[in-house]
Structure 1
């Protein structure tokens, strides 16, 4: 169970006992009540994964591990008791749950708002720290100077938005992590042009034979977490992310990383899309651009030229789908898309 830090405040109110906090939350933030009750009275909590890389599953984390994760974030960003923090994420997932844990355990002054697209729209207050998904950061762009340090995760951020956000006075970081590692274990400062992720304190990393990232988080598990994320390993505390091993397209013996190509195409395609592949007798896999829309005219050569794609990185075909399969938190199910387009291309 978690003990409330004496300096913790919720909406400028102090709480010395769990019961009074839960009464307030039940009235004002009922969607957070069950999680907080478990956090304050149990030794572990169950967390649902998003399902973006497979079937959603339930993972159990000890409250002690959640506290250690909170301490690592606090130490990296130098967030002391009394830190003014904005919580605007859904507590249905680990990122939203951890905002509560950090505030309660580290003694932050927390302002809770509903997880809407623009959480700052009716707020003039300034904050030391906040966490958002890309849509929220983009929608709040004009007001982000109200936040000193902002972390962004949960979905990809386009290169255009990376460059735009990097120009703000706010210190903005992209996060790397997953439910299994209790949110982020590494962050990337958008103000640095090297695209390097740095790990939080106590976290060490390495690579397996596939070139995929393995993560050692001693406060969570004695065993390493083995990922399917292909990386350029710089040191045991820093790396560049290249893409997912299970998404790599091998076309004519050349390995292509869809996520990197998507980042280049993002500014020029207004509809949701992904880079995928279909079976090809000559190439093995033929790279295709799959767009979530009704069919419209598109010039692949011109598009690729605009995006600065080389001939090897240019999609060979466009496929339109009217309904992308999505996970429970809105991420595209890439494997399902690939299965569907290969089914109909035969």
Structure 2
């Protein structure tokens, strides 16, 4: 199937906001969006014109999670291959109703558009607000959101069959709320700009991510995930993500190697400690390391919000070395443009 579908195709079942549109129609709509639309509509128009020009690539902006945001050049056919893999994994069919509520500036938003005209989805687009399903009673087969949108849409998700959540870590509270919902399959996704959004997903409540079609995974000497995905990348993608491989198709995400704290020779993975504390701290928080004369790095807990007394009983379930030496409060965490917490910069600001 991949050989037959190219980036020049627009599926004959594709609809945008209820209208059947072919390639020429899409280009005309794009000009209208750029000329007369709101800011979010202009960015949709800009991307569609980029997609249907004569170039075989588009330029994408990374989110800046692990460094300064940068522009990378992405082959359009590889984006098509990614869309096909998503369609296979989530069993999407031509004519399925989808909602597009993500910013077009980043890869996740762009790929929802690409999936729609490659797979033949009937997609509605709305402004990418924090509550995109407000006053919308339409029933959707497939929706992609960031955690904040999912949190604010809990009551409306009764109208959604499949929801994928990515872009930032999902809180335990949100996961519990989503698990209570009936007749909806919710997936947490794993991916980055370089992998053209997700290369793996897991149903919430499960521990291991399952990889999408045509992906191979391994670990390097640092126990970090290495992705071999010839249909979406010409090179191996070496990540900073510490993982445990379950089998050829599944892995468990442990944490980021650049977050690891070496405290007195003991290596601690903040994400695993955060998992233990998740249900006990109502505010946003993270575990990090801070320079220390005797330990090299001391483990600290950073909580978002006004300073208050922290009940030491919350650390009862932690191992000896996992207990923070100090607790700090920050009025508001520093974040990337798309809402990911900048841990290092936030600690430096203390």
User: Alpha carbons of 1:200 and 1:335: their partners in 2 closer, same or farther (altered >3 Å)?
Assistant: same
TM normalised by structure 1 equals: 0.92
CA distance in 1, matches of 2:275, 2:50: 39
1:13 to 6, 19, 37: 19
CA distance in 2, matches of 1:74, 1:21: 25
CA distance in 1, matches of 2:19, 2:165: 27
Query: Within the alignment, does 1:46 sit opposite 2:59 as a pair?
Result: yes
2:326 to 314, 317, 341: 317
Query: Residue 72 of structure 2 aligns with which residue?
Result: 59
Query: Within the alignment, does 1:34 sit opposite 2:43 as a pair?
Result: no
- Distance apart, 1:290 and its partner CA: 1.5
Query: Residue 243 of structure 1 aligns with which residue?
Result: 255
Query: Residue 86 of structure 2 aligns with which residue?
Result: 73
Of 213-222 and 283-292, deviating more is 283-292
| Aligned length in residues | 336
- Distance apart, 1:257 and its partner CA: 1.3
Query: Within the alignment, does 1:226 sit opposite 2:238 as a pair?
Result: yes
- Distance apart, 1:100 and its partner CA: 0.3
Listed as ranges, the matches of 1:102-251 within 5 Å are 102-168=115-181, 169-191=183-205, 193=206, 195-251=207-263
- Distance apart, 1:284 and its partner CA: 2.6
- Distance apart, 1:24 and its partner CA: 5.0
- Distance apart, 1:162 and its partner CA: 1.6
TM normalised by structure 2 equals: 0.91
CA distance in 1, matches of 2:114, 2:296: 48
RMSD: 1.7
- Distance apart, 1:255 and its partner CA: 2.0
What are structure 2's unaligned runs of at least 5 residues? 1-6
Of 68-77 and 119-128, deviating more is 119-128
Aligned 8 A contact 2:16 2:124 in 1 = yes
Aligned 8 A contact 1:277 1:287 in 2 = yes
Q: 4+ runs of 1 displaced by more than 6 Å?
A: none
Query: Within the alignment, does 1:281 sit opposite 2:293 as a pair?
Result: yes
CA distance in 2, matches of 1:332, 1:163: 21
1:19 aligned counterpart, secondary structure: helix
Aligned 8 A contact 1:213 1:231 in 2 = yes
Of 211-220 and 27-36, deviating more is 27-36
2:9 aligned counterpart, secondary structure: coil
Query: Residue 344 of structure 1 aligns with which residue?
Result: none
Query: Within the alignment, does 1:22 sit opposite 2:30 as a pair?
Result: yes
CA distance in 2, matches of 1:290, 1:147: 35
Query: Residue 266 of structure 1 aligns with which residue?
Result: 278
What are structure 1's unaligned runs of at least 5 residues? 342-346
